[in-house]
Chains A and B, each alone.
Chain A
Amino acid sequence: ILNVEQSPQSLHVQEGDSTNFTCSFPSSNFYALHWYRWETAKSPEALFVMTLNGDEKKKGRISATLNTKEGYSYLYIKGSQPEDSATYLCARGGRDDKIIFGKGTRLHILP
């Protein structure tokens, strides 16, 4: 069984503050790491896909890093805004073509 763990489970952040959360995953047979943002009543939205150790991706105020050797990825949000409130899912892709999701980090931005 391949477990993808995300922490924290839930997070409250003051508007304007920066924050980050973690995704850890088995490093064996690793192929890709995906981050998605899922707002209530909407479709999960793809943020990043990373494949190489040391990869860093950025999209506006959101960025992510990848360490495949130790099996973790960080997602950073700079200067949180109310529209950042969502569940952030990471998913590990293996060589069997499937991706396995973590339980997500639920982010609440406080005005």
Chain B
Amino acid sequence: DTGVSQDPRHKITKRGQNVTFRCDPISEHNRLYWYRQTLGQGPEFLTYFQNEAQLEKSRLLSDRFSAERPKGSFSTLEIQRTEQGDSAMYLCASSLGGGAGETQYFGPGTRLLVL
């Protein structure tokens, strides 16, 4: 088992550009979560998937953000027209099942810097 992987690990972009991040969960994990972490804060929930279905989106996720998990395996998170306030660490996690008692396994994150 190779764990959760994320690509890229770092991204620097100019304001107004679009960026896309990829997450590969642990194989056979049905749930996939996206979080955002800014300096001095804990990870904040953005959205999650059960297989290919997106079940919930946080109010933090503006219309510029979109996430997909087309075949129920890897997921992508796209940010359109990036703003400086989007600079953060974007974390992906997966779990075998659902429920708040299920352990989530995290990837190393993608650190985004918007200039």
Q: A residues engaging B (CB < 8 A)?
A: 4, 31-32, 34, 36, 41-46, 49, 51, 89, 91, 93-104
Contact = CB atoms under 8 A, between A and B. Distances in A.
Interface residues of B, number: 24
B101 A32 contact: yes
Given A46-B103, A46-B104, A93-B101, A101 B56 contact: no
A98 B48 CA distance: 9
Interface in B77-91: 91
Contacts, number: 59
Interface of B: 3-4, 35, 40-45, 48, 56, 91, 98-109
Contact of B107 (A4, A43, A97): A43
Contact of B106 (A31, A43, A51, A103): A43
